Each structure stands twice: as C-alpha cells, then as structure tokens.
Structure 1
C-alpha cells in the first residue's frame, strides 16, 4: 500500500470538504454499522451531531467518539477485514504502528474496494483514525476519536453517554448513536473556548436557543466548566446580546443585574 504525501493528503481533505449531507449520512451509516457489528460503543459528536439535530449548519467532516478498549490498532483491524456491498477497507497496520512508534505526524494507507471500484483512505494523526470514504465519487471524511485523543473531550463511558436516534437525510434513512446533549455541549464549549471559531459559536447558539434542547442543556449544566460558559456568554454579548437571558437560563448562570429584580 502506498503512502500519501502531505500534498496528496491535503487534496483528499479538500475534496472531502465538498461532501453534501447525503454523502456524509451514507458514509456515517456504513461506518456506524461496522462499529455496531463489532460491539464497539461509539457516539457521533461535533458539527454533524448538531446538524442532525436541526442546526442547519453543514460540516466538512464527521467526528465519532469511540470506546477503548479496543486499542486503536484493534479498532482499525475491523476495517482491515470488513467487506460490504460498497466498500472493502484494507489497512496496513504494520505501517501505521511503525509510524506511531517513530512519532511520524501522519500516515495514509490506501484502501481499495474489490467490489465496485470505490476507494477509501485512512490516516493516523494525534491518536485519531481518519477514514476518507468514497460515496458515489464524493469523498467523505470521518474521524474516529478514542478516549484520550489529544485535544478532545471524550466521555469515559461512551455507552452510557449516547442516545439512539433515527434520521432521514436526502432520502437516506438510518439510525445511529449520538452523544447526548450533556457531553456533546461540554465538548463544544471546550472547543469554542480553545479555538474561538464561528462554527462552534453557531452550534452553541442553536442548542441554547432550541426549546427542545435548552432544557437538556440546563439539566447537565453542572458538568460544564464555568470558564467555558463564561467565555461563550462574553462572545454572545459582543455579537448577539439579545441571547443573554437564554444563555444564562440554559447554563443555569446567575441572572444579569438588569433582570434580577423581575
């Protein structure tokens, strides 16, 4: 299996950014099915979780928290032998593990499809397995993030931190395990605090403004670090001051002085 250069990898990631929700849903359903058949607990997180809940903000990739054990090499091995009607995943584990031991920043292994000519790629970076799946000619990037992955807030017990949900995206119906609101929002708050991106901010605005989800955010408010919620509130006051009371309520924060007497 050939290695990809950084230029090749950049091209793959740029191509995957063009994936539409329908492509992402099909790739997610496929990978989730592999994890479920191997009894590996997982939960969709990040922007795709928010999108499937109705945020309307599309995302360039699909983040999936995965339980460990198994160790990453064992997790990858299930794709090494997996066959489906659309994809056959093949991963050179020796090459991947040698790269890890040698502290190489990233390795891509070619994954070929013996069934219908589709192809995929896998990368190892910062403890995350990156799978790029070809869905009808469109690449879709999925990142498998185990507990302990650098920079990510993954629940210790993933199986008890997810909820089973059903979706239909551009005529593609499927079920998958989603990180529940508590751990989902905690991870997003941390990401917003560290990265200060507009996308993270928009996801948080959606969730605290939702009559369906804001009560769930409030129920889990004890699990959020105050510096994260304070920073989000400060950002909102600069951009969308009218959301102040909604944010304070969702995160169970003290009411502002101007409203304390009401």
Structure 2
C-alpha cells in the first residue's frame, strides 16, 4: 500500500487504529459517488468510523501531509511537469445539507491535540443561484492539482493567485528545500493585475497572462507612466487548457462537484482526498 508509510499509527487516546485500507476505501468511495455517509455499503465498516476518521484527518492536516508525500514521490520519479503550471478556479454548488453550520470560535487546543480549523464564513457565498463555494487551484502539465484554496463563491480570482501560488510546496526526499517555483505560470484574463505581475517578476517566474482590453487601453492612455506592454505568446497560452482538464478530472468526484460538507475544513479534506486519488492513478 503506497499510503501506508504516511498514515498515523494510533488515535488520540493511545489506541491503535485498525483497517486503514478499509476506511480509506470507504472515504474514496464516498468522495467519488457523493452518497450520504450513512448510506455507505457495509463492506467498508461502520459509517461513523469512516466519517470520523475523514473529519479528524481533515482537521489535523493528515490529508495534506499525505498529499505532499505523494507529490514528492511523483517528483522524484520525474512525473511532475514543471514546465507549465496554470491557475484557474471553478465554482461548486452547495447542497442544502452544506448550509446552516453554526458559527463556532476556534477551540483552544488541549495538550497533545490540534485545533479544528473552523472559519467564520465556512467558505460559502450566496448569489442568485444560491449557496456556492469556489476552488482556486494550480495544475501542472500532467493535469493534476499541485495546490488549491477553498473560498466563498463570490470571491474574485486575481486576489487569490498569490495565495494559491505560495501553496505549491513539493518536498524533496533526497534533501534540499521543497520546490515551490514552476518554470512558467499561465492564467486567463481574470488574473491580470499589476499586483500579480509585479509579484511574479519579483520572483523571476515567467508568466503568460492575457491583458484585458480595458487594462490595455488604460495603460496606453497614461503613456510612459502606464508601464511597459505585457509579454504574450499565443502558443504558450494554449496550454491553459491543461488546468481546465485538471478541474474536469477533479470534479469527476461528485462530492467535489457538489459540496455536501458543512464545515470548510471537512470540504477541504474531501478535495484533498480526491486530489490524492488523481496522483495515485498511473
């Protein structure tokens, strides 16, 4: 089992967990099908056990550590395409079961325990279509997510680009700092802003982001004060479809395409589990 070295060996009370394989299979089955936890088939064991382990691993960062370990193994095998990393976002409609979570203050962690990651907004936004949330992600050339961020549905794309980019962190088992910078970064017009371009230039990251017509006209009106024209290569821009295909593969998991989880940290764990499943596929 490729995940076994990265799984916790015991629970919070000192008891040893049994049946990791069965529980993880149940979690991935639910993520893929989107069925209610209570409707899990009996072959995966008690639904409460499966749900509690998923919730706990979402809260203490176990899913995030597993994802980084799986990405490190893929990078060591040369399976990550760093030549082009693209950013994009997708909206996920929230089911009625995802609404109505009580606002909770972060608990003070007890000795030996980690706090639950509660958010005051729970990553939900209301629009004409109802409650939605948005997944901002960075995908590599092999159509797999490197990093992602869950926000309310009405949040814009451009302000989240830097946060998503800084979440790219692939460890190197043989030593050295984790890899964080791609060779090239691409995005659509929604990510065009002076702040984002200044950030990428400062970190010496080549990028291809189309400039909207209104921004181009405003720059020309200002003359020399408007700054230099942005570089654009149409052939490189065509590779933006890779991140769209990444989103398509990720949303094949019905629990990701439609949000059923009330808590933002649990939904983040659901998206992480679906991402791990993509990285484990040959």
Using structure 2 for the length normalisation, give the TM-score: 0.23
If you compute each CA radius of gyration, which structure gives the higher value, 1 or 2? 2
Which structure is richer in relative contact order (CA contacts within 8 A, separation 6 or more)?
A: 2
